[in-house]
Each structure stands twice: as C-alpha cells, then as structure tokens.
C-alpha cells in the first residue's frame, strides 16, 4: 500500500487481509504497540511519531524483517506503511527474493481531502481500528468496545508535516515502482467499498502477471 497519510491504507489493508485470509503487517501499528508497552525502542519511536517524523530506516527495516521471518506470512501478507523511503524499498526487494512479486497499490487522494480526513479521524485506543466516519461518533469502538481517541499525530500542524514528509521521502517510491507490471494506481477518493473493489481487481491482475497470463 503506497499512499499519503489519510489515503485509507490502514482501513483497506485490514479489509484485504480479512478478504484473502493473510496477515496485515503495519509498521505504524507495531511502533504504536511498542510505544504503549514502554520498550526503549517504543519510547524513542513515540517522540518521532507524535511529531510526525519518520523513525530511522534501520528501525523500520528491522521490524519488517522480523515480521516477515514468521511462518504466518508464507502465503502472502498486506504491508501497510512500509516502505516509506527508497532505502526501505531496496531492503524490501531484498526480503522478497525467492517470493512472489510484490504488488504495489498506489492510492491517490487530493491533498485537501486528506487534511479533512485526518482532522476528523478517530481511532480505537485499545485495538487501533479506525472508526467508520460515516457512522455517528458514540465514542466507543465498533470492533472491541474500547474508547475512541484522536491520534496525537493527527493534530493539524503535525498532519501538514507528515504530508510534507510523504512528498519528500515517500512519493519518490512511485517512480521507483511504476515501471513494474504489478504496480497499480487506485483512486482513493471514493467510498471504502469502491476502493476495496478496485484493489481486489488490481490484485487479480497482479496474480495473472505472476502466473504469466496476459493482463
């Protein structure tokens, strides 16, 4: 999943993971869990996350390397929030050696829509699920009943930092991946159901590419 903050990567990654029965691997979720657990790595990461800065490539790559070494990803996985830099993308190519080709779903959403979405976003403080913005905000998570909170990094100034960092460090990945036959651009400015359908279509094409069939 490649796209700016607020593009819907987390929501769609969860849906795809459920649909295909494979794990979702979210570096943001793993970092927030480490921060909540109070590990040294987590506390250092928290300061960077709260200000909207990226954690180092070294930390992000180590997290994904460890996660992809587990058995449950053998039949596939959905990556959310990684890679975010060219250095991370190069490391991921190394990790993918000997596996099926990576499918890249580039989600495109106008910037003013992103700012509005992030400003309004509410997430569960317990399980991390994003609240459905089309439903009334009752303050509790529909998945686990935990309390809904606003992420510290969804503060307006921090959001603008994160969008700038995306432009500077992550948007170059479009150029890095775009010539691959398994790169797809998805219109993220439509309903979550319509985005999910577009992504499943792209993944079906990607599987044909992997099996050597015409697209």
Residue 82 found at the interface with ligand AMP (CB under 6 A): yes
Bridge-based pairing of strands 104-108 and 183-187 is: parallel
Residue position matching structure tokens 């990654």: 13
Is-contact 112 85, C-beta < 8 A? no
Q: Which stretch binds ligand AMP (CB under 6 A): 76-84, 111-119, 136-144, 200-208?
A: 76-84
Q: Does residue 160 belong to the site contacting ligand AMP (CB under 6 A)?
A: no
**C-alpha 70, offset from chain centre:** 19
Q: Report the nearest approach of ligand AMP to the CB of residue 195 (Å).
A: 17
SS3 108: strand
Nearest of 210, 142, 152, 150 to residue 180 by alpha carbon: 210
Cα distance between residue 138 and residue 120, in whole Å: 14
Question: Could you tell me the smallest distance in angstroms from the CB atom of residue 88 to ligand AMP?
Answer: 6
Complex with ligand AMP: residue 88 or 103, whichever CB lies closer: 88
Q: Has 18 been annotated as catalytic?
A: no
160 annotated active-site: no
Nearest residue to ligand AMP, by Cβ distance, number only: 28
* Pairing of β 24-26 and β 123-124: unpaired
Residue 81 binds ligand AMP (CB under 6 A): yes
- Which residue from 15, 67, 122, 162 is in contact with ligand AMP, where contact means CB under 6 A? 162
Catalytic residues: 9, 84, 121, 151, 162
């Amino acid at each position: 999943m490649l796209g700016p903050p607020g593009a819907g990567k987390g929501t769609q990654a969860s849906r795809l993971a459920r649909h295909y029965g494979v794990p979702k691997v979210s570096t943001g979720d793993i970092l927030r869990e480490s921060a909540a657990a109070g590990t040294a790595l987590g506390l250092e990461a928290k300061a960077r996350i709260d200000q909207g800065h990226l954690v180092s490539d070294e930390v992000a790559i180590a997290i994904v390397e460890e996660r992809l070494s587990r058995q449950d990803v053998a039949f596939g996985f959905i990556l959310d929030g990684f890679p975010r830099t060219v250095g991370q993308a190069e490391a991921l190519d190394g990790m993918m050696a000997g596996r099926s080709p990576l499918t890249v779903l580039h989600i495109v959403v106008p910037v003013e829509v992103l700012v509005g979405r992030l400003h309004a976003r509410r997430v569960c403080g317990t399980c991390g699920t994003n609240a459905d913005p089309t439903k009334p905000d009752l303050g509790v998570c529909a998945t686990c009943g935990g309390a809904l909170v606003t992420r510290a990094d969804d503060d307006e100034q921090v959001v603008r930092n994160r969008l700038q960092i995306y432009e500077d460090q992550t948007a170059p990945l479009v150029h890095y991946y775009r010539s691959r036959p398994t790169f797809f651009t998805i219109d993220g400015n439509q309903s979550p159901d319509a985005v999910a359908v577009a992504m499943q279509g792209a993944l079906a094409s990607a599987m044909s590419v992997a099996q050597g069939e015409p697209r």
